[in-house]
Amino acid sequence: MSKTKKIAVIGFGNIGTGVVERLYQKGVAGLELVKVVDIDLKRKRPVTLPSSYLSTDWRQAVTDPEVNIVVELIGGIEPAKSIQMEALKQGKDVVTANKMLLAKEGESIFRLATTLKRRIGFRASFVGGHSLIHELGQAGTAAKKFKRIYAILNGTCNYILSTMSREGKGFEETLKEAQGKGYAESDPSDDIDGIDTANKIRVLLGLISNSYHTAGAFPVEGIRDITLQDIQYADELGYAVKLVGVIEQKEGVFDVAVHPALVPRVSLLGSLEGAYNGTELEDEFGIISGLVAPGAGAYPTADAIIKDLLDIAEGRTLPMPGLANTITLGSKEAVERRYYLRFSVVDQAGVLAQITNIFWKYNISIAAVIQKESASKEFVPVVVTTYLAKEGDLQAAIAEVDKLDVAKARTRIIRILSADT
């Protein structure tokens, strides 16, 4: 091991406290904590530091010639971006858990790091998949090796959906329970609207395409509209409902999305319970592998940060996207999927025939139908699964179905993901 690296931690919240505790109280060979920065130094924390370690001025830490590595843990865009950029300019390496910043501003940050021959460790932005991130980054030509990646990357959403399924509770009730247990923030929008997963997928896309160029927009849908009824129908069909990040690659073109999906209940992703993350990968030879890990928590995140710090201290290569061509995204309308559709229609003869006629027009074939008696006198739920259909055709067909006089509510659409689709 090279000589001891001196560390400045900027952000003394829950995660920062975990990192400081590991470095200061327990000690890690080759790493020495020398500075901790936070705007609030009066709040009580599990670890107490001498005043000489503490500062409220991040610039002081970043420009300190004694510091070798800056750990940015404040989150958000600014001043986090300024902290990382200035640290790189000062000749320091950077470690961060800030997936939002890397997803939105990663191009300029990674470009600067590459130009200055500095390193950025971001395992901690993928707590439940940091081993995968490291593996992909080491591969270099990962885009040629993976046909698809399906990933559950948000522990809050997985906790909510698996609890709804297991305990038969509605979304709002389960969300409040998740907040009470600390699995969801008081404002859970980033999690349940798919934004957190989308940020992680964007960073992951940069790695597997070996490009730090920011990709264009892709579809992002959260779980607010998932009902217990949908989860129960999915279970009857042999599926679990999960929030999934999708990357599929063919001849250098990437189909990327974040949305709820029906996945086989017996699959790796379908079996995940609680706040766990999981990733299913298929390589160019059709071989499928997977990874499961806890998706959240101060100590798992701190552990990922320590791993990056040790890699830097020991001179190992860190996973970072390179300077490749612009990432090419495919047309979302051309993506082929199977679909779960729940119609709310008048309970009368000929309704399914009307829907089938529209489907025939758009070359959509029905795989299964579930129709049960309804307590409502106004409509009855009819659940249909399809064979493979293009997204554009499916959306056009549903737009026509929803205009029928017999349709009493908008059709619920959930994609179906499995190894054969």
- Average pLDDT of 226-247? 96
**Residue 181 pLDDT greater than 90, yes or no:** no
Contact 246/253 with Cβ under 8 angstroms? no
Q: Is there a contact between 345 and 408 (Cβ–Cβ < 8 Å)? A: yes
Q: Pick the residue with more confidence: 182 or 97? A: 97
Superfamily holding 334-416: ACT domain (3.30.70.260)
pLDDT score of 251? 86
Among the listed residues 279, 412, 255, the one whose alpha carbon sits nearest the alpha carbon of residue 337 = 255
Closest CA to 201 of 155, 152, 268, 250: 152
In terms of average pLDDT, the best of 5-9, 201-205, 288-292, 307-311 is 5-9
In the chain, the percentage of residues whose pLDDT exceeds 70 is: 94
Question: Which active-site residues does the annotation give?
Answer: 200
Question: Does the pLDDT of residue 345 top 90, yes or no?
Answer: yes
Mean residue pLDDT across the chain = 91
Residues in the chain: 421
Q: What pLDDT was estimated at residue 295?
A: 72
Distance CA 121, CA 205 (A): 16
- pLDDT over 90 (residue 126): no
Q: Which of 192, 241, 248, 253 is nearest to 220 (CA)?
A: 192
Query: Residue range 58-86: average pLDDT?
Result: 97
- pLDDT for position 1: 47
With bands split at pLDDT 50, 70 and 90, how would you rate the model's confidence at 207? confident
Q: Helix or strand or coil: residue 143?
A: helix
Question: Taking 70 as the threshold, does the pLDDT of residue 2 lie above it?
Answer: no
CA angle, 45 as apex, 41 and 49 as ends, to 5°? Answer: 65
Q: Domain coordinates of the chain in residue numbers? A: 5-121, 132-294, 334-416
Tokens of 15: 């995660």
In this prediction, residues 384-402 reach a mean pLDDT of: 98
According to DSSP, the residues that pair with 281 across neighbouring strands are: 149, 289
How many Å is the maximal CA-CA distance in the chain?
80
Q: How much is the pLDDT for 213?
A: 87
Least confident of 60-64, 126-130, 147-151: 126-130
Residue 257: CA count within 13 A, CB half-sphere: 22
Is a pLDDT exceeding 90 seen at residue 67?
yes
CATH 3.40.50.1370 for domain 132-294: no
Residue 376 CA to residue 126 CA, distance in Å, equals 45
CB 231 within 8 A of CB 241: yes
Strand, helix or coil at 43? Answer: coil
**Is the pLDDT reported for residue 296 higher than 70?**
no
Of 78, 75, 96, the closest CA to residue 8 belongs to 96
Predicted local confidence at residue 135, as pLDDT? 67
User: Worst-scoring range by mean pLDDT, 72-76, 206-210, 223-227, 387-391?
Assistant: 206-210
The predicted structure's pLDDT at residue 130: 63
Q: What is the pLDDT of residue 373?
A: 72
pLDDT band, very low/low/confident/very high, at 371 (cuts 50, 70, 90)? confident
Helix 228-236 crosses helix 155-167 at what angle (to 10 degrees)? Answer: 70
Ordered DSSP codes for 67-88: --EEEE-S-SSTTHHHHHHHHH
- Strand 288-294 versus strand 239-250 pairing type: unpaired
Contacts of 246 (CB under 8 A, 6+ apart): 148, 149, 150, 151, 201, 255, 256, 257, 258, 259, 261, 417
CATH 3.40.50.720 is held by the domain 5-121: yes
Q: Hey, which of 61-70, 123-132, 209-218, 369-378 has the most confident mean pLDDT?
A: 61-70
Q: What's the rounded mean pLDDT across residues 282-299?
A: 81
Q: Of 56-65, 281-290, 347-356, 361-370, where does mean pLDDT reach its minimum?
A: 281-290
Q: Which residue intervals of 12-140 are DSSP H helices?
A: 14-20, 58-62, 80-89, 99-116, 130-139
CB 412 within 8 A of CB 381: no
* 357 band by pLDDT with thresholds 50, 70 and 90: very high
8 Cβ contact list (under 8 Å, min separation 6): 34, 35, 36, 37, 61, 62, 64, 67, 69, 70, 71
Between CA 287 and CA 275, with CA 204 as vertex, the angle to 5 degrees is 85
Q: Is the pLDDT of residue 140 over 70?
A: no
Taking residue 397's Cβ as centre, other Cβ atoms within 10 Å add up to 23
